[in-house]
Amino acid sequence: MRTNTASKPDDTVSRRAAPQSIGRVMPILDQLVDACAGAPGSVSLNDMAAATGTPKSSLLGLLQGLREEGCVVREADGAYALGHRFLRLATSAVFGEQLVGLLRPILTELVAATGETAVLGVLSTDQRMITYLDRVESPNPIRYAVETGVQRELHCTAGGKLLLAFMAPPRLDTVLDTIALQEFTPTTITDRDRLKTELARIRADRISRTSDERISGASGLAVPVFGPDGAVTATILIAGPSDRMQRAAARNEAAMHRAAARCQSFGFLPATEREQQ
């Protein structure tokens, strides 16, 4: 009995090939990253071959694969530079690590401008809650107090509704299918259609407002923080006693819009605005 082994893939060869390919690509990326940090920002094929010790014929094949994946671009003069996909991934990683440090001064400014507690929040990993990453508390003896790491519901908090509002419709429907619109106070929105109408208004105004929706006597405002990909990656919010928040509504909203503009000064704009530049 003859066994046909010709059609079987050589798993050993496949496993070896992948690490070897990565090992050949990484020196190329190292060269391009170093070039990105200075002038002219790109590397010629000759210089890359000399620096990596790789034949130009081999480099061309590897570079073509990287170009097809958007990790490398070829400039008009024939030199190579990092592509949009690699830059987006790298920037996203750094942005995520530095988010708290970047935004802490803005939280501090918000407290100074409004007298209310300022909080930085992101979507929880299961996409069912908002997680508070950082906060600067109000100096007022009567204030909104929350610990970092605490999670709150999406449908009845200013930051939670803001994060819902900027989700793509299919993703929003998926998330709403997984959460219960629990009633905490008489003003909590528990009807899905009414909530979606509210979310559309939040997206248009770029500010989320709550009044006594999770806790009676507490109100909040939230604005978006856009990430490197133009999507909302976090939210900044303030919260305090409803009577005090309502008396200073115009001042507080102006401060929140200034905070949102400060966030965009990092260079991370909404996708629609970035495409227009």
Beta-ladder partners of 74: 80
Calculate mean pLDDT across residues 148-170: 96
Domain hosting 32: range is 11-82
Query: Based on the structure, what is the number of domains in the chain?
Result: 2
274 alpha carbon, distance to own chain's centre: 15
Q: 174 pLDDT band (50/70/90 cuts)? A: very high
Calculate mean pLDDT across residues 232-255: 96
Do 60 and 141 lie in one domain? The reply is no
| Distance separating alpha carbons of residues 11 and 242, to the nearest angstrom | 65
What is the CATH classification number for the domain harbouring 192? 3.30.450.40
Is 1 within the bounds of a domain? no
pLDDT the model gives residue 275: 41
Do 99 and 233 lie in one domain? The reply is yes
Do 144 and 43 lie in one domain? The reply is no
Per-residue pLDDT for 71 more than 90? Answer: no
Do 188 and 68 lie in one domain? The reply is no
Do 155 and 227 lie in one domain? The reply is yes
What is the CATH classification number for the domain harbouring 32? 1.10.10.10
- Structural domain ending residue among the three candidates 39, 57, 82: 82
Do 68 and 95 lie in one domain? The reply is no
Per-residue pLDDT for 65 more than 70? Answer: yes
Is 2 within the bounds of a domain? no
Do 267 and 225 lie in one domain? The reply is yes
| Distance separating alpha carbons of residues 116 and 222, to the nearest angstrom | 12
Do 65 and 107 lie in one domain? The reply is no
pLDDT the model gives residue 269: 60
175 alpha carbon, distance to own chain's centre: 17
Per-residue pLDDT for 10 more than 50? Answer: no
Is 6 within the bounds of a domain? no
- Are β-strands 232-241 and 117-123 bridged in parallel, bridged antiparallel, or unpaired? antiparallel
Summarize pLDDT for 92-109 with one digit per residue, the tens: 666 666 788 889 999 999
- Pick the closest to residue 234 from 119, 132, 104, 121 (CA basis): 121
| Distance separating alpha carbons of residues 175 and 179, to the nearest angstrom | 7
The model carries a pTM of: 0.68
Do 166 and 259 lie in one domain? The reply is yes
